[in-house]
Amino acid sequence: MAGVVAALLFGAAAALRAEPLVNPLTADDDTVKLGRKAWIASGCMACHGNNARGAVGPDLTDDEWLRAYSDEMVFNTIKRGRSGTAMSGFGDTLSDTQIWQLITWLQDENRKRKAGAK
Amino acid sequence: MLPIRSSRRAAAPRLARLAIAVSLATTCGAGVSLAADVVHVPVTDDMLLNAQRESSNWLMAGRDYAGTRYSPLAKVNTKNVKRLVPVWNFSFGTLDAQNTTPLVVDGVMYVTGSHGRIFAVEAATGKELWSYAHPLPENIGKMMCCDVGNRGAAVYGSKVFYATPDAHVLALDRETGKVVWDVTVGDWTKAQTMTVAPLVVKGKVVVGMSGAEYPTRLWIDALDADTGKQVWRRYTIPAPGEPGSDTWGTTDADIWKYGGGSTWITGSYDPDLDTLYWSTGNPNPDWDGENRRGENLYTNSTLALNPDTGDIKFHYQYTPWDVWDYDGVNETILANIDGKKVWLHGDRNGFLYSIDRTNGKFDWAREISVVNWATGFTPDGKPIVDPDKVPSYEHKAVNVCPASEGGKWWNPMSYHPVNKTVVVPSREICADLLSGPSERVEGKYNLGLAEADWIKGYGQLVGFDAKSGEKLWTVKAPSPFTSGVLTTGGDLAFAGTPEGEFKAYDIRTGEELWSYQTGSGIVGSPITYTVNGRQYVAIPSGWGGWTGWATWGGKGGAPHLKNQRKGGTLFVFALVDK
């Protein structure tokens, strides 16, 4: 009986859970440029460096961050911040679209970096 | 009950204070034992005016009103510094930039941490007496260009004062840590934030503001130490019609409301001239000067102020029309050299200055690091700018030296008044800069920077003859020295590195004599003091702040510092027996 209840609850939870967020944008030149613009306008480089390769804040272009975390986690970190750290949420100054543009730029930097390393 | 003042005080005023302390201790039933509880004797104007002679204490961020960061203590010296070992440490409980300078009053240390915290601890043992954490808005981090740090506290009477990132100034009871008053002096949602260590002058708590990377107009405030009530405010950007308002060009009528001019480094005070010296930072937008053509007074200047009114007596401007973010906010050290009263100022624009502090006249300037944005000075002390090194929308200025953080970054230098030597933490780093149109939105970055590439360089600690400006010695290092400097009567200069090494040098030669690895980068400032006759040396460790030089650009920097471990610990050292 308990197993049945657990299964029902699990099924209900799964049904309620929204699909995980994924970056809806494609990495065309315009989107990448807009992402770079959002990066500069929001002052992200003050902590993460001009090209997001890390300063006092972590490198955001390496696989460790971009690939180890889902698009949704990256999106939520930028939108809501990380409690207890200097990373504030930018949801009040960047629209969701701008955050995805910014992520697109980061992902493009990641691709360029790996291509350059080959 | 509070820790007791010891009998180590020798001067007459100190004896008088000791008598008060003993009386209080007796009244309260405590013995006059150094091991007993301590009495917090009020910090008086006389103590502050004679802080240089308070050899056991460290009473203000710059140690004395001249801001020398020199202590006459000599028990730890060039001969025995190798026997310096850690005797206690203290965790701040927070990460990010630990920019503080601790204070010590009669065996009690008052030290601020990042994220709005302050602590009182026994200076001989590290035992916490009390702590206070100011609640911060969740999103304060993005309103601070350069981390959620704090540069230290101030003491006066029975209170300790400090400023918080969200622009509160607090007075706490030194004995209990209870808040006596809490005033809000700025609007953090407009990036009017605070990291400064206050300075108490003539019963007023003087504080400055951070925030010039955002469009805002900043100031210096003097608050009544008893109540927190504002006594005066000095805006650093003149309103229309005020002197200097005609130095902001003609294309932007509102520029004066948003022109920056931050004041986040503690000033100095000359009681004989009754003048407060306080420096100002960059104009906003930082790199885009198109709509603010002119000298942009009073940015990048040191203001000589009437401490009773905040009125400007005179000023000297280091970088007119700053389009490099040279941000002249750094400290002024008041020195008397062969009868001449000067202030010494190491600027991010790469020059060490000597300025006549009776009138603001240019004395001399010497290169701390390679400088090419200016080719020299006019006779009245204005820099002669190389137009090829001026970034614009169309012109990428290549290999501009120094890069935006100097020269000398904000970390304070120290002046050894016996050797007449000033020790400057520095760096040799240049940059390629292209400015770009900026967008003015309150509470959002407004840098005016299209692209920047920092060029790989190195760090250095430089000893200068304070009279001539001649370089006496230079210590080179893989990275810039990112701590403040302490000099002592033991002929030592202490400084720290981004790699976490806390080092002691012979001030006469620059020879490295001692080093200790603190585990995280050092961006705070060292002090020294005594308790029961034993000399201690303290340094905060905890990496953070703006480090564009480290990894900003594609051409280098200091990649080994990327992802440097953060921390938040105060280390305290003393000599171990042979």
Compute the distance between CA of residue B252 and CA of residue B283 in angstroms, rounded to an integer. 14
The 10s digit of each residue's pLDDT in B17-45 is: 443 443 343 333 333 333 346 678 999 99
Q: Do the Cβ atoms of B546 and A45 come within 8 Å? A: no
Say if residue B104 is in the same domain as residue B145.
yes
SS3 of residue B168 by DSSP: strand
Compute the distance between CA of residue B390 and CA of residue B477 in angstroms, rounded to an integer. 29
pLDDT at position B2 is 36
Say if residue B17 is in the same domain as residue B49.
no
Distance from CA of B99 to the nearest CA of A (A): 14
B303 within 8 A of B265, measured Cβ to Cβ: no
Distance from CA of B218 to the nearest CA of A (A): 20
Angle between helix axes A96-117 and A29-41 (nearest 10 degrees) is 110
pLDDT at position B203 is 98
Q: Do the Cβ atoms of A54 and B563 come within 8 Å? A: yes
The 10s digit of each residue's pLDDT in B190-226 is: 999 999 999 999 999 999 999 999 999 999 999 999 9
Q: How many CB pairs under 8 A join A and B?
A: 93
Tell whether the model's pLDDT for residue A32 goes beyond 70.
yes
pLDDT at position B31 is 30
Largest CA-CA distance found in chain B, in angstroms, rounded: 75
Total domains in the fold of chain B? 2
Tell whether the model's pLDDT for residue B375 goes beyond 80.
yes
> Read out DSSP for B491-523?
SEEEEE-TTSEEEEEETTT--EEEEEE-SS---
pLDDT at position B416 is 98
Say if residue B26 is in the same domain as residue B125.
no
| Most confident by average pLDDT, A31-45, A63-77, B258-272 | B258-272
SS3 of residue B563 by DSSP: coil
Residue A53: closest C-alpha in chain B = B551
The 10s digit of each residue's pLDDT in B235-290 is: 999 999 999 999 999 999 999 999 999 999 999 999 999 999 999 999 999 999 99
pLDDT at position A4 is 53
Say if residue B126 is in the same domain as residue B34.
no
Say if residue B29 is in the same domain as residue B56.
no
pLDDT at position B148 is 93
Identify the band that residue A2 occupies on the pLDDT scale cut at 50, 70 and 90.
Answer: low
The shares of helix, strand and coil residues in chain B, as percent rounded to the nearest 5, are 10, 40, 55
Q: Do the Cβ atoms of B447 and A43 come within 8 Å? A: yes
Compute the distance between CA of residue B101 and CA of residue B79 in angstroms, rounded to an integer. 26
Tell whether the model's pLDDT for residue B165 goes beyond 60.
yes
Residue B17: φ, ψ to 5° = -65, -35
Known catalytic residues of B? 325
Tell whether the model's pLDDT for residue A7 goes beyond 80.
no
Say if residue B84 is in the same domain as residue B119.
yes
pLDDT at position B387 is 98
Query: How much is the average pLDDT of B379-395?
Result: 97
**B interface residues, A as partner, C-beta within 8 Å:** 95-97, 138-148, 213, 439, 443-445, 447, 449, 451-454, 543-548, 550-554, 562-564, 566
Q: Do the Cβ atoms of A56 and B445 come within 8 Å? A: no
pLDDT cut 70: percent of chain B above it: 91
Tell whether the model's pLDDT for residue B485 goes beyond 60.
yes
The 10s digit of each residue's pLDDT in B86-129 is: 999 999 999 999 999 999 999 999 999 999 999 999 999 999 99
Provide the domain limits for residue B50. 42-575
Query: How much is the average pLDDT of B496-519?
Result: 97
Say if residue B11 is in the same domain as residue B77.
no
- Contact residues on chain A for B138, CB-CB shorter than 8 A: 81, 83, 88-89
Compute the distance between CA of residue B568 and CA of residue B90 in angstroms, rounded to an integer. 8
B209 within 8 A of B234, measured Cβ to Cβ: no
B482 within 8 A of B522, measured Cβ to Cβ: yes
A26 touches chain B (CB under 8 A): no
Residue B374 in tokens: 């200016």
The 10s digit of each residue's pLDDT in B60-77 is: 999 999 999 999 999 999
Say if residue B453 is in the same domain as residue B533.
yes
Q: Do the Cβ atoms of A56 and B439 come within 8 Å? A: no
Say if residue B15 is in the same domain as residue B136.
no
Of B144, B147, B452, the CB nearest to A50: B452
pLDDT at position B5 is 45
pLDDT at position B557 is 62
Q: Do the Cβ atoms of A58 and B550 come within 8 Å? A: no
Distance from CA of A104 to the nearest CA of B (A): 19
Residue with tokens 């405010």: B233
Compute the distance between CA of residue B492 and CA of residue B82 in angstroms, rounded to an integer. 12
Compute the distance between CA of residue B303 and CA of residue B261 in angstroms, rounded to an integer. 12
Distance from CA of A102 to the nearest CA of B (A): 16
B510 within 8 A of B490, measured Cβ to Cβ: no
Say if residue B440 is in the same domain as residue B374.
yes
DSSP label at B558? -
The 10s digit of each residue's pLDDT in B304-358 is: 999 999 999 999 999 999 999 999 999 999 999 999 999 999 999 999 999 999 9
Identify the band that residue B562 occupies on the pLDDT scale cut at 50, 70 and 90.
Answer: confident
Residue B553: closest C-alpha in chain A = A50
Identify the band that residue B397 occupies on the pLDDT scale cut at 50, 70 and 90.
Answer: very high
SS3 of residue B242 by DSSP: coil
Q: Give the CATH number, domain containing residue B170.
A: 2.140.10.10
Say if residue B452 is in the same domain as residue B328.
yes
For chain A, the domains span: 21-117
Say if residue B393 is in the same domain as residue B519.
yes
> Read out DSSP for B2-19?
-PPPPTT--SHHHHHHHH
| Most confident by average pLDDT, A66-70, B35-39, B108-112, B478-482 | B108-112
Q: Do the Cβ atoms of A81 and B141 come within 8 Å? A: yes
The 10s digit of each residue's pLDDT in B564-574 is: 789 999 999 99
- Topology at the third CATH level for domain A21-117: Cytochrome Bc1 Complex; Chain D, domain 2 (1.10.760)
Nearest to B469 by CA among B421, B418, B509: B421
Distance (Å) of CA B163 to CA B115, B200, B264, B488, B528? 11, 13, 11, 28, 23
SS3 of residue B339 by DSSP: coil
DSSP label at B191? T
Distance from CA of B445 to the nearest CA of A (A): 6
Compute the distance between CA of residue B373 and CA of residue B436 in angstroms, rounded to an integer. 19
The 10s digit of each residue's pLDDT in B425-467 is: 999 989 999 999 888 999 988 999 888 888 878 899 999 999 9
pLDDT at position B87 is 98
pLDDT at position B30 is 32
B154 within 8 A of B198, measured Cβ to Cβ: yes
Q: Do the Cβ atoms of B439 and A87 come within 8 Å? A: no
